[in-house]
A and B are shown apart, each in its own frame.
Chain A
Amino acid sequence: MTDTEARPTYKYVGTRPIRHDGLDKVTGKARFAADLNMTGQLRAAITRSPHAHARIVSIDTSAAEAMPGVKAVVTGADFPEIDIADAIHDEAVNNIARDEVLYNGHAVAAVAATTLAQARAAAAAVKVEYEELPAILSIDEAIADGAPLANPTTRTLFTGDTEPSNFASIGQFERGDVEAGFAAADVIVEREFTTVPVHQGYIEPHACVADCGQDGKASIWASSQGHFAVRSKTAAILGWSTDRIKVTPAEIGGGFGGKTTIYLEPIAVRLSQKAGRPVKLAMTREEVLRATGPAPASKISLKIGATNDGELTTLAGTMYYSNGSTKGFSALTGAMSVASYKFPNLELHAIGTVDNTPKSAAYRAPSAPQAAFAVETLVDEIAQQLGMDPIELRLRNAVVEGDPTAMGMPHPKIGFIETLEAIKSSDHYNSPVPEGAGRGFATGFWFNIGEQSSATVNLNEDGTATVITGSPDIGGSRASMALMAAEELGLDVHRITPIVADTESVGFTDITEGSRATFATGMAVVNACRELIEKMKERAAVIRGVDVDQVAWIGGAAVIEGPASEGNEPLTIADITAQAKMTGGPLTATASLNAAGAGPSFAAHLADVKVDEETGQVTILRYTTAQDAGTAIHPAYVEGQMQGGSAQGIGWALNEEYIFDASGEMENASFLDYRMPVASDLPMIETIIVEVPNPSHPYGVRGVGETGIVPPIPTLANAIAAATGVRMTDLPMSPPNVLKKINEK
């Protein structure tokens, strides 16, 4: 079901063709990084820290080097020292430890050998002498008075401090008069919420193959969300210029933000350089969970005031977010994501902390789900206390174009109201709540971003086309690129081949993140197609011997207009390309841009849940999501993003968590005990695509990848409250935690 504002009629945009890369993926031919094999390839393995925090006293690699099949061993000493002020410092140190190990699982050394078994055996034989240091394992420990330093290289962002600190960042947003706002409020609700780290949970472990030649140049095949970033980061960590590295994107088996950072490539390149052979380096699942990813833990104290007639007047609070072992922006991003309601009075303190858990990484709408858990739970309680319908309360306070976000910047054109209305008129909302169940509702918001993209469109001799971009395709974006090119050119979508090219074959393109690929890279594709159309009009003018201003592009063909139209049939793309040699050569166009005007996307979710009050188990009976996509280029993959985001949010809400023992070792580093939703845990996820076009994009696209993960946590918390009367404030809402709250009732 799609709610659509009046818009132009499109021939291709908005259809659901079979994706171009689909066949390879259903037949097993698609090549992910770990599927690649080079002649003479070695396999590599990493030695990881068994301590959460320790000084590296010494590393003895001699025994490992002497083992059968071993061709190269590297440690932190094989990489250049990087100044702590350098932007790449934290990621460099996260790739391989230098003076200190900062979390259990931190890479210390790596081995390349003829076989994987040999590499693993040798990695285990690297002798590291550690001097254990006090480990900080939580936000509370990090901020405690006199707490030892988790990472001596951390300086607090935005403060100018030059001394090391466990505070990663300190920020504040204010508007209006919070004190007066609460004084005038009729209803005030206040709670503290905590969340634990969760992993992105992509099914493909990180992997790459690196081949460094004797000329000092390296080729890398990597699964990443941005191969240009793999190039620049690898070069920076190695101290190389970027021209020494070529990165070819392999198919990527899920990222969700977690493959915007790198972990393996510099190590694989150094091993390959030392061994003079290609090296494949892939993580195990245990390594993925111990040493990559997570979304940050948080602790949020929030207070909201409202008037009896349902105006949300005042919001105040403090948001702590952990960044894991290095500094980061997670707290700031969390506070920034508080942007759904007008709140004339607002005061938010955003404090990031550092500890000895894995360095946190982006995860789909980073930091927003934690904040939404707090805000949307309290808004639900206000609706409950005022006896108002939860959607009506939100409609009364929803931001529209021009209203400020927490940062103060005005929202551009947005579709929050339309999204709320979509749920209000849904079949689900208008059906009775099942016997014994509870219904929960909540909303979410994400900014989305633009950034830099490049695209080249080549017309082939027979009038088919190739669309070349630099945006790794995670969820079907190649099909979206082809659809937009099809619409522009008037060419059947399956006469267009969309590909993602290596770093030497297409212009620079930023990472696939911030829901930007279809928006920004799509815009580059559109621009390139428009340039091609101008060129084709010129060629048509030459062919027909008319002035170019007499040529129009209509329905995928050059149409001669005016007096010369008589007897001149329209020239199709194939007609024009067939004569390209005589009219000026091949037809190709390239466009690059730094996209502005990313369209924020709102989502609203509705869930019916049943809670077993004797076991604490939550069963989701029905789940509906509505989200503003701007324009859905390929609606099936928009729905897929909404459903996938919902499922991840549901997992985060109910059962996913990092469990650390007292020493900081992750106890559940497996898919058995890191409990992501399985098929039998979920109902169908009903989708309503709302389309309020983004005026900054030629087709009105808003990013859709991220917002879907924001509402599920409060949606389920509110549903559990409706079912049981118990307000869940700590994640996960797993059976033991839910039962504990029920027992306390």
Chain B
Amino acid sequence: MISRTHVHCTVNGDEVDFLADDATSLLDALRDELGLTGAKEGCATGDCGACSILVDGAVNCACLMFAAEAEGHEITTVEGIADGDHLHPLQQVFLEEAALQCGICTPGVLVSAKALLDHNPNPTEAEIRYALAGNLCRCTGYDKIIHAVQEAAVQLNGASK
């Protein structure tokens, strides 16, 4: 018999409460309980990164967390990256640089890229590639994604000066 745990946490800035089956992953809870389907299930084993989310600012695979572990933490999904009607520079640059094709990996890539730039505002190409190594993309060959992250870094640094 699976028991359930009451979870209280912050998701994209909003306090939420939900009841989680103790075997449920945070990914399933986000998608099925909270209706946030931006994080995707590509593998459910932590190998593709399509479910990447931030937990207190650190990038994680939502498929590798029990939902109950979210208690007290701040969770950010792709739905929480934009600031109201202003896209995050990464989102805007991804659009402008055509850094997505089918779009299934895009939410996870954006979340990982945000975690990278939050911690390392001036990454080298190699640092970007290794930071995104946990996010499989099968459409783009990564080229335009890397370029977009580089451009977003330039814009973010420009804005902060």
Contacts and interface: CB of A to CB of B under 8 A. Distances in A.
Nearest to A674: B47
Contacts of A256: 138
B107 A676 contact: no
A255 B94 CA distance: 21
A136 to B, nearest CB: 30
B142 A679 contact: yes
A28 interface: yes
A203 B129 CA distance: 18
Given A204-B102, A640-B139, A647-B141, A670 B43 contact: yes
B103 interface: yes
B45 interface: yes
A217 interface: no
A256 to B, nearest CB: 7
B146 A640 contact: no
Interface in A1-58: 16, 18-19, 21-32, 34-35, 37
A79 interface: no
Contact of B102 (A23, A202, A671, A677): A202
A574 interface: no
B19 interface: no
Contact of A203 (B32, B45, B48, B133): B48
A285 B32 CA distance: 19
Contacts of A18: 95-96
A585 to B, nearest CB: 37
A256 B146 CA distance: 22
Contacts of A203: 40, 42, 48, 50, 102, 104-105, 136-138
A252 interface: yes
Contacts of B60: none
A506 interface: no
Contacts of A253: 40, 42, 102-105
Contact of B129 (A27, A34, A202, A679): A679
Contacts of A252: 102
Interface stretch (B3-11, B65-73, B76-84, B153-161): B76-84
Given A204-B42, A648-B138, A637 B103 contact: no
Interface string A253-267: 111100000000000
A399 to B, nearest CB: 27
A639 interface: yes
Interface string B36-50: 111111111101101
Interface string B84-125: 000100010011111011111111001000000000000001
A684 B128 CA distance: 12
A168 B23 CA distance: 46
B102 to A, nearest CB: 5
Contact of A284 (B44, B95, B132): B44
Given A203-B138, A475-B139, A647-B142, A22 B100 contact: yes
Interface string B20-60: 01010000100110011111111111011010000000000
A476 interface: yes
A16 B98 contact: yes
B146 A679 contact: yes
Interface residues of A, number: 60
Given A26-B95, A205-B41, A636-B98, A643 B140 contact: yes
A643 B47 contact: no
A144 interface: no
B104 A254 contact: yes
B138 A28 contact: no
Given A476-B101, A679-B129, A285 B95 contact: no
Contact of A636 (B36, B42, B81, B97): B97
Nearest to B94: A26
A474 interface: yes
A453 to B, nearest CB: 20
A117 interface: yes
Contacts, number: 186
A27 to B, nearest CB: 6
Contacts of A671: 42-43, 45, 47-48, 136
Given A671-B45, A672-B45, A202 B101 contact: no
A717 B83 CA distance: 48
Contact of B141 (A28, A30, A35, A685): A685
A227 to B, nearest CB: 16
B91 to A, nearest CB: 4
A251 interface: yes
Nearest to A637: B98
Nearest to B149: A679
B90 to A, nearest CB: 8
B145 A679 contact: yes
A32 B107 CA distance: 12
B57 to A, nearest CB: 18
A679 B132 contact: yes
Contact of B143 (A26, A32, A117, A685): A685
B102 A26 contact: no
B86 to A, nearest CB: 12
A32 B104 contact: yes
A195 interface: no
Nearest to A645: B141
Interface in A667-724: 670-672, 676-680, 682, 684-685
B17 to A, nearest CB: 20
Given A252-B102, A476-B101, A285 B43 contact: yes
A117 B106 contact: no
A682 B144 CA distance: 12
Contact of A682 (B23, B35, B141): B141
Contact of B136 (A31, A205, A676, A685): A676
Contacts of A476: 98, 101
Nearest to B109: A679
A646 interface: yes
Nearest to A671: B47
A475 B47 contact: no
Contacts of A679: 128-130, 132-133, 135, 137, 142, 145-146
A201 interface: yes
Nearest to B100: A25
A644 B139 contact: yes
Contacts of B136: 203, 671, 676, 678
A201 B50 CA distance: 13
A30 B47 contact: no
Nearest to A646: B141
A252 B139 CA distance: 12
Given A636-B97, A636-B144, A643-B140, A31 B135 contact: no
A21 to B, nearest CB: 8
A644 B141 contact: yes
A643 B48 contact: no
B104 A204 contact: yes
Contacts of B42: 203-205, 253, 285, 671
Contacts of A29: 38, 79
Interface of B: 2, 21, 23, 28, 31-32, 35-45, 47-48, 50, 77-79, 81-82, 87, 91, 94-98, 100-107, 110, 125-126, 128-130, 132-147
Interface of A: 16, 18-19, 21-32, 34-35, 37, 116-117, 200-205, 251-256, 282, 284-285, 474-476, 634, 636-637, 639-640, 643-648, 670-672, 676-680, 682, 684-685
Closest 3 CB pairs of A and B: A28-B38, A253-B104, A647-B141
9 contacts: A27-B82, A34-B40, A203-B104, A254-B139, A285-B44, A643-B142, A671-B48, A679-B137, A685-B143
Given A28-B78, A640-B139, A685-B141, 13 more contacts: A27-B79, A27-B91, A34-B37, A201-B138, A202-B138, A203-B42, A251-B104, A285-B43, A285-B44, A637-B98, A648-B141, A678-B136, A679-B132
